[in-house]
Amino acid sequence: MSGRDPDRRRALLDAADRVILAQGPEVSMAAIAAEAGITKPILYRHFGDKSGLYQALADRHVRTVIAQLRPELVAPGGDLRGRARATIGVYLDLISANRNLYRFLFHRASAEDSRIRSHMTALVRGLGEELGGLLVGERAVPDPVRAQVLGHAFVGMVQTTGDWWLEHPEVDRVEVVEGLVDVIAAALAPRPAAAVGAVSPRSGRASRAAGRT
């Protein structure tokens, strides 16, 4: 049955990594199997099916990226802007050094398989939830709902901007990092108190509705 030998699975994932890094995200499953010295059906058998292979690669690499980002996020001391700068820098360095693997997971595998797309989404969403909890825990954003909104927004923004940056290597990395940090800092800046008598769209609609009764 698949997955009974962790050392063998690890060796097969190592083979997949080598071929993806060398040949790019459109590498064939036959090429991965050949690198591992087995046939394609045997490759799938170790992971259940092709989706299982994709998920194993996603767990290996996306979790590794998150594990390397986490120390920057929770580093004691220092302002949030500095920590945001360090975290974004680490992320951009990781995806640029492993762009074929990044494109394989976020573009090829996610496009081919709805299960892996859902799995990748869950991994990224988990990081957004963790960041939201951190913002509340440090009282950078006291409102837990707003903290979750911002946590997910920041993660999505950095991911999509990093994806764009890989397609535009002429753009200086520092410029990308500082642009993202500026947006994060602006979102975390204290909001001015609401003007006296200001009416939100929701409360305005409620007032108008009450006036018609």
- DSSP string of 137-167? HTTSS-SHHHHHHHHHHHHHHHHHHHHHHHT
Assess contact for 105 and 61: CB atoms under 8 A.
yes
What is the model's pLDDT at position 196?
A: 39
Is the model's pLDDT at 212 over the cut of 70? no
What is the model's pLDDT at position 191?
A: 73
Whole-angstrom CA distances from 85 to 33, 68, 77, 147, 152 are: 40, 14, 14, 19, 17
Report how far residue 68's alpha carbon sits from residue 50's, in angstroms, rounded to the nearest whole number: 27
Report how far residue 168's alpha carbon sits from residue 136's, in angstroms, rounded to the nearest whole number: 35
What is the model's pLDDT at position 2?
A: 44
Is the model's pLDDT at 213 over the cut of 80? no
The pLDDT of 118-129, averaged and rounded, is 90
Is the model's pLDDT at 201 over the cut of 70? no
Q: How confident is the model at residue 78 (pLDDT cuts 50, 70, 90)?
A: low
What is the model's pLDDT at position 206?
A: 45
| Per-chain mean pLDDT for the chain | 86
What is the model's pLDDT at position 200?
A: 46
The pLDDT of 25-48, averaged and rounded, is 91
What is the model's pLDDT at position 1?
A: 41
Tens digit of each residue's pLDDT (9 = 90 or more) over 56-70: 999 888 888 888 888
The pLDDT of 15-43, averaged and rounded, is 93
Whole-angstrom CA distances from 190 to 133, 142, 143 are: 18, 11, 12
What is the model's pLDDT at position 62?
A: 85
Assess contact for 184 and 81: CB atoms under 8 A.
yes
CA atoms within 13 A on the CB side of 64: 11
The pLDDT of 126-155, averaged and rounded, is 93
What is the model's pLDDT at position 80?
A: 82
**DSSP sequence for 50-90:** HHHHHHHHHHHHHHHHHHHHHHHHS-SSS-HHHHHHHHHHH
What is the model's pLDDT at position 112?
A: 87
What is the model's pLDDT at position 67?
A: 87
